Amino acid sequence: MIVFMDVEITPAEIGDIHQVLGDHPRYWGERDLRSLHLLSLVHEFGSTCLVARAEDGIRGYVIGFVTPTGTGYVHLIATRDDARGTGLGRRL
């Protein structure tokens, strides 16, 4: 667990992605990227998929994984519209 600003960065769970998808426009605007939110990545690589939680919900998230050789792959990274410009995406 990492605390940054007033958010707690923790491993993602399947329910977190459902929450993000329910509020999809706040992360992605008019772009419909719901099909790219692969629940299997969160299920299999949950420890390297992260969410930034605050009292008012999930402010940002990253879906990705780290290979056995240490190479990181970021599939999706997003911050909610009210968290942009705060450095949260970089921190994730």
Rounded to two decimals, what is the model's pTM?
A: 0.89
CATH number of the domain where residue 71 is located: 3.40.630.30
Q: For residue 11, what are the domain limits?
A: 2-91
| Structural domain count, the chain | 1
37-81 pLDDT, tens digit each? 999 999 988 888 999 999 999 999 999 999 899 999 999 999 999
Contact 52, 61 (CB under 8 A): yes
Contact 7, 92 (CB under 8 A): no
